[in-house]
Amino acid sequence: MNKENKYIVKGDLSGIQNFIFNIPSKGAAKELKRRSLYVTNLAEELLLEDEEFFKKNDFKQIYIGGGNYFYEVKTDKNAEELTEYSEQKSEKYILSELFPFFAFVKYTNSFQQTIQKVNKQMLKNKQQRLISLESFEEKNKIIPKLKDGEGINYHYPKDDSGEPIDFDHIAERGKGDSKLAALKLDIDQLGNIFREQSESDYKILSDELDKFFDHKLLELINENEWLDQVYVVFSGGDDCFLIGSWNTIIKLVFKIRNEFKKLNKHLKHQVKSLKQDITFSAGITIFPPKYPVQQMAEEVEEYLLQSKNEGRNKITILGYALTWEEYEKVNQIKSQLYELVTKKDESKSLIQRIKSSNIGYEFLQKRATQGRMELPKVWNLKYYLRNVKKENIEEVEKLFDTYTQSLIDVFLNKENITNPMVFPIAARLTELLIKK
């Protein structure tokens, strides 16, 4: 009789990004949802298959989300049996673009050490994918039709027959220019945070984060009456990918961040070993409805990586990584400019002047890094005030004073400065907002 051993097992789907987003723009809303739900359901099915394989053993799920899962099992099956089972399971997908990897390690001295070991084993296994000389099978043959279900991943704007509406119709439901925005965000350094946790605290953290990216996010979309403007590509575990009318996404991400700060307080109360705040980074790309889906996905992924590479806990929009405080400032300036133009009859040229000024700013910044500071040219921004209406002059002058001072503060390397780029970014967003 085999000796009973305790293992931690990890399953991880590879190829998700290309599988989901490599689709034509025509009919993209329907096909994108079919594929994202297929990935979500496949991970759950693989976990259920494992549970069935160990049906008479002590089986405990630890985490599932983002196309991967962990579980703990006490079994009398030996390492050879587990290896054979995982290889047979992988072979079924050898001709599929989506490929599941499996890793298992014996439970060692602690939960934390064992989780680290299984993650290292997974990295090793991913370098050894089974290779076939045949091409991948046609993907549409394996993807089922859309079905109704519960949870955030089953949310998307629908027509009268329950089918996903096209992205161009979602864009038209927004305010201003008929454009879309894609938002991708995920938790910063989650592996490091989990690495220090006991098994019970690990479970609390994973459950609370999963609840946030499912129930709370759907609640935020619903309570702001954005159900017909936000399309959930996927959400759960520790990340989400949303598409929606551009201005709705711009506002939604800030609401997500505010709710996440509340979650931090709750988690610190529940998990005493959690000393630091859990943060997330985000990327937003704005694009026309017929834009190639795969290119959109690559751009928003690149923006997310830019946020992480420039310090984490940031959001990248229009190619610039901002702190969340700077992003809030962008929205404040956007509201101010919008009111000046739409309610105080200021010329739209004001927005254009601020929007185009970043070209001069970047040139001056480059010259400054070369030791050639040209402050008089910075002050020339005030020249833009010459055509402002008299009743608005005080407000606009204050706006430009803040902008020009922020430029000078950058060049003088002062601390606690206002990022000058918040002004042209706000101007560009205002331009989209007032466009019919």
Do 312 and 180 fall into the same domain?
yes
Do 176 and 255 fall into the same domain?
yes
Domain that residue 268 falls in? 165-317
For residue 408, the model assigns a pLDDT of 72
Q: 72 is written with which tokens?
A: 């703990």
Query: Does 394 reside within a domain?
Result: yes
Do 311 and 342 fall into the same domain?
no
For 285, the 3-state DSSP assignment is strand
Query: Does 219 reside within a domain?
Result: yes
Q: Which residues pair with 6 in a beta bridge?
A: 74
For residue 276, the model assigns a pLDDT of 86
Of 294, 317, 340, the residue that ends a domain is 317
For residue 55, the model assigns a pLDDT of 85
Do 20 and 128 fall into the same domain?
yes
Distance CA 41, CA 153 (A): 10
Do 101 and 173 fall into the same domain?
no
Do 220 and 258 fall into the same domain?
yes
User: Nearest to residue 100, comparing CAs of 68, 77, 127?
Assistant: 68
For residue 96, the model assigns a pLDDT of 82
For residue 57, the model assigns a pLDDT of 79
Q: What is the mean pLDDT of each run of 10 residues along the chain (436 residues)?
A: 84 92 92 92 94 89 90 93 92 85 92 93 86 54 78 93 93 95 96 87 93 95 95 93 97 96 94 91 97 96 97 96 95 94 90 73 58 56 68 84 76 74 92 90
Do 286 and 171 fall into the same domain?
yes
For residue 269, the model assigns a pLDDT of 92
User: Nearest to residue 182, comparing CAs of 308, 311, 317?
Assistant: 317
Query: Does 52 reside within a domain?
Result: yes
Of 132, 157, 191, the residue that ends a domain is 132
Do 205 and 73 fall into the same domain?
no
Answer whether 105's CB lies under 8 Å from 118's CB. yes
Do 305 and 353 fall into the same domain?
no
Q: Any idea what the CATH number is for the domain that residue 195 is in?
A: 3.30.70.270
The pTM (predicted TM-score) of the whole model is 0.90
Do 217 and 295 fall into the same domain?
yes
Tally of domains within the chain: 3
Do 122 and 13 fall into the same domain?
yes
Do 127 and 174 fall into the same domain?
no
Query: Does 153 reside within a domain?
Result: no
The DSSP string of 339-361 is: HHHHTS---THHHHHHHHHHHHH
SS3 content of the chain, % helix, strand, coil (to 5): 55, 15, 30
